[in-house]
């Protein structure tokens, strides 16, 4: 279990967030966020609801606009230049709480659409790659079905495969298991663990503390729009420094 | 204690076998008892309904069945009927061509609109039924020019240069559109305008005195043909324009958004009749003074604009019904705006909007009869004008208007059935 967390973290920097601030109207959602993510790092972000953790990772692929500070992803700075935004988005995969598969397209088409249209991959190659990743998430037999015919866990795995088909260098997960039945959480987490073991750079907003202990090499705790505490998982769970973190942990690990 | 626990504890050791449903009475008697005579009130209503059906049929059937099909005037019909109830369908037989083509279209050229009508089915088939081979769309793209040439005739160079202009537009768009959609679109438009300008100049110079197909001016068009032409043209133009307006109304760019909102709200706030009067009388002021823009074209513009505004609102509803997650998923995969719209958003939004779009399309098709008000002789204009005003057929209201109703019903029912088939065909999300 400690093995995974010591794998392949390089010195190369994947994401730099420097003094980032964001407001919704006059509401200050993210306050002076500073974060550096190395390539191959697996970060779990947790915190109470409304603490800005989803907003933070949505800023990384520009689904949300930040108003102050710098975000540099893979050497490209996020600015209002649409070319940069599209470039970053094609490098950064994202999985959503509600999967957001395209319901009018088959599973296979869901996976091949972006490679064909954004990366200009030939159709045949895109389909081969899609099947490769669908096998990886263990649902190749569903390729011709439509998202509505799959269970939640299967849909989330398709969503992961869809992101992987773009060959991203970074994966963002926004509460990937919160909308799933308990039985299905494990199959999604297993897929994510496998991905982590292959050295994918991952930022994951989740409340799955078991997952955090097992794969993360850093846990970040956010509250009221700021990063309150970050540490290695062992230290974070066993020996939280701030009072707010202690309270949060006692509440979610209470039972 | 042991007693109660043994009562709570329970183990089902064997699966309960499947058993057939209870044998209740089946067949027509049961169906009638369930659906027609399930209580005294329902029995009473059933009997009342039967009586109403009997009254209606006993009134209309003799009229229909005794109908006279061969006569030269209403007076002759009455003579043949000799006091019996009966319809005078002879008017339909005698004025058949006028009802379909109007009273001025040259009789020896009827084959041209008829051929255009038949080809229409070939042209729309690949659009409506997307399981057909995609190559057929080539013909669909050519169809407007073929139909124009067949119906209006005249020199063949006008439709050819019109086609050349669109082809040039498409080619420029293919070239430039890869980088920027806007550049491709407007660059293409500029090139097309140049081609059309040169084309109209050359056409004026080389057009033969006696063209291969005799030219028919727009004012000679009429009858149901005119309704079909207006309906097909306006529906097929107003759907893409409606899509653009709906997207424009959702745009982040304030100027585009304001233009679209003002346009939609203004057009929706004005009755169609007003727009048609504007088309027939006032629109000429907006064109260069010595240009004569065809009345048909002016009416097409007005009806298209009118229904595009309605379709835009219908599609906006479809867009609003999509969860934002779909936009975000498209964005997060790196799709740009035109791609996201074309591949993800519009296919779903349009699917949701099908009932609304069909509603507008059916309404639009029926509204084409309003052109009779600005003295165009469409089916209704023909009936009210030349036919009912003639000495032979003065007073044959039921037969003529019933026939008009039937023609429109057939087309509109067809559209509605198609839309229901389409909705079933596209239902992928909850099978």
Lowest mean pLDDT among A74-88, A129-143, A213-227, B98-112: A74-88
For residue B378, the number of C-alpha atoms closer than 13 Å in the C-beta half-sphere is 22
pLDDT digit string, tens, across residues A138-157: 888 989 999 988 988 899 99
Return the SS3 of A97.
coil
* pLDDT (0 to 100) of residue B284: 67
Q: How far apart are CA B362 and CA B378, in angstroms?
A: 17
pLDDT band with cut points at 50, 70 and 90 for residue A2: very low
Task: Assess A149–B contact: CB distance below 8 Å, yes or no.
Answer: yes
Q: Please state the φ and ψ torsions of residue A32, each to the nearest 5 degrees.
A: 45, 65
Name the band, by pLDDT with cuts 50, 70 and 90, for residue B21.
low
In sequence order, what are the beta bridge partners of A76?
A: A73
Closest residue in B to A144 (Cα–Cα) = B428
CB-side neighbour CA atoms (13 Å) of B113:
25
Question: Closest partner residue to A117 among B343, B428, B429, by Cβ?
Answer: B343
Two structure tokens written together for B252: 């982040």
Sheet holding A218-223, edge to edge: A92-95, A170-174, A201-205, A42-46, A218-223, A226-231
In CATH, the number for domain B94-425 is 1.10.3720.10
What ipTM goes with this model?
Answer: 0.89
Confidence of residue A5 (pLDDT cuts 50, 70, 90): very low
Do the Cβ atoms of A147 and B429 come within 8 Å?
yes
pLDDT at site B216: 86
Can you name the residues that pair with A170 across neighbouring β-strands? A92, A201
What would the two tokens of residue B428 be? 């992928």
Q: Where are the domains of chain B?
A: 30-65, 94-425
Q: What is the pLDDT of residues B43-95, one digit of tens each?
A: 999 999 999 999 999 988 988 888 888 888 888 888 888 888 888 888 888 88
Q: What is the mean pLDDT of residues A201-209?
A: 90
pLDDT at A77: 86
| CA distance to partner chain B, nearest, from residue A246 (Å) | 34
The pLDDT value given to residue A254:
66
Q: Which of B335, B347, B428 faces A148 most closely, judged by CB atoms?
A: B428
Q: Where are the beta strands (DSSP E) in A67-179?
A: 68-73, 76-77, 92-95, 170-174
Judged by a CB distance cut-off of 8 A, whether residue A96 touches chain B is yes
For chain A positions 47-66, those within 8 Å of chain B (CB to CB) are 61-63
DSSP annotation of B287: S
Question: Measured between beta carbons, which residues in chain A are less than 8 angstroms from residue B347?
Answer: 104
Determine what percent of chain B falls in helix, strand and coil, rounding each to the nearest 5: 75, 0, 25
CA B413 – CA B419 distance, rounded (Å): 10
The tally of CA atoms less than 13 A away on the side-chain side of residue B317 is 12
pLDDT of residue A4: 46
Q: Kind and range of the H or E element at A42? A: strand A42-46
- The pLDDT value recorded for residue B279 is 82
User: What DSSP designation does B1 have?
Assistant: -
pLDDT for the residue numbered A89: 87
- Provide the token pair at B88: 């005078």
Contact present, A59 and A20 (Cβ < 8 Å): yes
Which residues are CB-contacts of A106 (< 8 A; sequence separation ≥ 6)?
A: A143, A144, A145, A146
Comparing CA positions, the residue from A39, A53, A43, A69 lying closest to residue A228 is A53
Tens-place pLDDT, residues A128-139: 999 999 998 888
pLDDT for B410 beyond 50: yes
Tokens of A1: 């279990």
A168 has pLDDT over 70: yes
Q: Bridge-partner residues for A71, per DSSP? A: A17
């Amino acid at each position: 279990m400690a093995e995974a967390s010591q794998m392949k973290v390089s010195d190369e920097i994947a994401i730099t967030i420097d003094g980032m601030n964001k407001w919704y109207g006059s509401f200050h959602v993210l306050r002076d966020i500073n974060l550096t993510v190395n390539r191959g790092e697996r970060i779990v972000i947790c915190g109470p609801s409304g603490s800005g953790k989803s907003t933070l990772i949505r800023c990384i692929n520009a689904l949300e606009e930040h108003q102050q500070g710098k975000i540099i992803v893979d050497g490209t700075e996020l600015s209002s230049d649409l070319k940069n935004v599209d470039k970053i988005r094609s490098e950064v995969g994202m999985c959503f709480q509600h999967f957001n598969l395209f319901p009018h397209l088959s599973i296979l088409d869901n996976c091949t659409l972006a490679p064909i249209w954004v990366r200009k991959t030939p159709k045949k190659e895109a389909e081969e790659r899609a099947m490769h990743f669908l096998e990886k998430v263990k649902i190749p037999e569903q390729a011709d079905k439509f998202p509505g015919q799959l269970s939640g866990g299967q849909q989330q795995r398709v969503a992961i495969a869809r992101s992987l088909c773009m060959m991203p260098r970074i994966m963002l997960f926004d509460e990937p298991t919160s909308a799933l039945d308990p039985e299905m959480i494990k199959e999604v987490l297993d897929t994510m663990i496998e991905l982590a073991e292959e050295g994918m750079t991952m930022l994951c907003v989740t409340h799955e503390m078991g997952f955090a202990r097992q794969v993360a090499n850093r846990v970040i705790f956010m509250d009221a729009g700021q990063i309150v505490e970050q540490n290695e998982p062992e230290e974070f769970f066993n020996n939280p420094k701030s009072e707010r973190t202690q309270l949060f942990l006692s509440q979610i690990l209470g039972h | 204690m042991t007693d109660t626990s043994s009562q709570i504890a329970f183990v089902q050791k064997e699966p309960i076998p499947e058993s057939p449903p209870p044998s209740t009475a089946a067949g027509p008697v049961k169906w009638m008892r369930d659906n027609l005579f399930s209580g005294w009130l329902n029995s009473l209503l059933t009997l009342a309904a039967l009586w109403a059906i009997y009254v209606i049929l006993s009134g209309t059937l003799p009229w229909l069945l005794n109908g006279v099909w061969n006569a030269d005037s209403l007076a002759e019909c009455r003579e043949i009927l000799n006091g019996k109830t009966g319809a005078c369908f002879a008017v339909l037989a005698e004025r058949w061509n006028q009802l379909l083509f109007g009273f001025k279209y040259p009789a020896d050229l009827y084959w041209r609109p008829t051929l255009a009508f038949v080809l229409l089915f070939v042209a729309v088939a690949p659009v409506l039924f997307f399981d057909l081979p995609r190559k057929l769309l080539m013909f669909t793209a050519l169809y407007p020019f073929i139909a124009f040439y067949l119906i209006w005739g005249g020199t063949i160079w006008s439709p050819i240069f019109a086609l050349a202009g669109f082809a040039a537009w498409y080619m420029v768009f293919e070239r430039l559109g890869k980088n920027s959609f806007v550049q491709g679109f407007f660059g293409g438009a500029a090139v097309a305008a140049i081609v059309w300008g040169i084309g109209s100049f050359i056409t004026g110079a080389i057009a033969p005195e006696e063209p291969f197909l005799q030219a028919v001016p727009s004012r000679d068009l009429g009858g149901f043909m005119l309704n079909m032409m207006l309906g097909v043209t306006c529906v097929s133009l107003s759907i893409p324009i409606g899509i653009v307006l709906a997207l424009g109304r959702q745009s982040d760019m304030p100027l585009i958004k304001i233009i679209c909102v003002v346009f939609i709200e203004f057009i929706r706030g004005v009755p169609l009749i007003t727009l048609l009067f504007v088309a027939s009388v006032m629109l000429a002021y907006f064109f260069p003074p010595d240009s004569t823009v065809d009345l048909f074209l002016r009416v097409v513009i007005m009806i298209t604009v009118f229904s595009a505004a309605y379709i835009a609102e219908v599609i906006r509803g479809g867009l609003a019904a999509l969860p934002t997650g779909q936009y975000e998923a498209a964005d997060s995969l790196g799709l740009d705006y035109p791609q996201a719209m074309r591949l993800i958003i519009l296919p779903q939004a349009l699917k949701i909007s099908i009932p609304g779009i069909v509603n507008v399309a059916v309404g639009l098709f029926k509204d084409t009869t309003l052109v009779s008000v600005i003295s165009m002789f469409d089916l209704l204009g023909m009936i009210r004008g030349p036919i009912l005003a003639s000495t032979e057929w003065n007073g044959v209201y039921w037969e003529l208007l019933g026939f008009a109703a039937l023609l429109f019903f057939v087309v509109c029912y067809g559209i509605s059935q198609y839309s229901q088939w389409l909705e079933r065909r596209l239902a992928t999300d909850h099978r």
